[in-house]
């Protein structure tokens, strides 16, 4: 995994991002993390929006600063992404957690999600977050394994109004 790194969004990777984005849209799956669901038609504006959110600029009410990172390989192909929330609000404590991450459909099962979460935890530790909350839906076995590989300790689940059970895991960052 030494050929992988998480980078800040940059306008210089527009073609790579569009490839990443269109593959995900074509799959019919919901793009994860949610921060990347925004239409990239005005790519420079999208990148600036993500960078602003990291700095806490222009946040919608109830939102917190969050760092978006793209997982790239040595050729700067975007393999996945994460959104690292610097703090938690009530809804994030219930179902969102500190980190949302996803890997493009054609690159799953290669350990990239485990890498993304591990690197995201380092960023949270640098932000002096003592414990990270990471969540996933009850049936998402792949994500459960990723969280457990990153030392997640299961907390109390949260049941949404529609009956969906959200698993909540805490990861100690004080070590």
pLDDT in tens, 25-43: 999 999 999 889 999 999 9
At 114, which CATH number?
3.40.630.30
- Determine the Cα–Cα distance for residues 117 and 81; give it in Å rounded to an integer: 10
Q: Please check whether residue 169 lies inside any domain of the structure.
A: no
Report if residue 122 sits inside a domain: yes
Helix (H) or strand (E) holding 72: strand 66-72
Between CA 19 and CA 6, with CA 110 as vertex, the angle to 5 degrees is: 60
The pTM for the full model equals 0.94
Report the greatest alpha carbon distance in the chain: 43
Domain range for residue 22?
Answer: 5-128
Is residue 173 domain-resident? no
The tens digit of pLDDT for each residue in 97-136 reads 999 999 999 999 999 999 999 999 999 999 999 999 999 9
Is the per-residue pLDDT at 7 higher than 80?
Answer: yes
Residue 31 lies in a domain: yes
Taking the CA atoms of 34, 40, 43 and 48 in sequence, report the sign of the dihedral they define.
negative
φ and ψ at 118, to 5 degrees?
Answer: -60, -45
* Residue 64 located in a structural domain: yes
Within a domain: 151: no
Domain count, the chain: 1
Q: How many Cβ atoms from other residues are within 10 Å of residue 146's Cβ?
A: 24
CA of 115: how far to CAs of 14, 35, 119, 124, 141, in Å? 23, 19, 6, 14, 17
| C-alpha–C-alpha distance, residues 47 and 42, integer Å | 9
In a domain, 51, yes or no: yes
The answer to whether residue 175 scores a pLDDT higher than 80 is no
Is residue 162 included in any domain, yes or no?
no
């Amino acid at each position: 995994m030494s050929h992988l790194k998480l980078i800040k969004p940059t306008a210089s990777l527009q073609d790579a991002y569009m490839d990443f984005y269109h593959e995900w849209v074509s799959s019919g799956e919901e793009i994860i993390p949610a921060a990347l669901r925004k239409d990239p038609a005005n790519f420079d504006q999208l990148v600036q929006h993500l960078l602003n959110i990291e700095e806490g600029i222009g946040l919608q009410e109830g939102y917190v600063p969050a760092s978006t990172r793209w997982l790239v390989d040595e050729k700067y192909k975007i393999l996945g992404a994460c959104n690292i929330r610097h703090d938690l609000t009530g809804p994030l404590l219930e179902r969102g957690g500190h980190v949302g991450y996803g890997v493009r459909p054609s690159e799953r099962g290669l350990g990239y999600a485990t890498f993304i979460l591990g690197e995201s935890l380092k960023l949270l530790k640098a932000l002096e977050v003592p414990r990270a909350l990471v969540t996933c839906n009850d049936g998402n076995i792949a994500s459960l394994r990723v969280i457990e590989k990153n030392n997640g300790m299961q907390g109390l689940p949260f049941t949404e109004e529609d009956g969906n059970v959200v698993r909540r895991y805490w990861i100690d960052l004080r070590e």
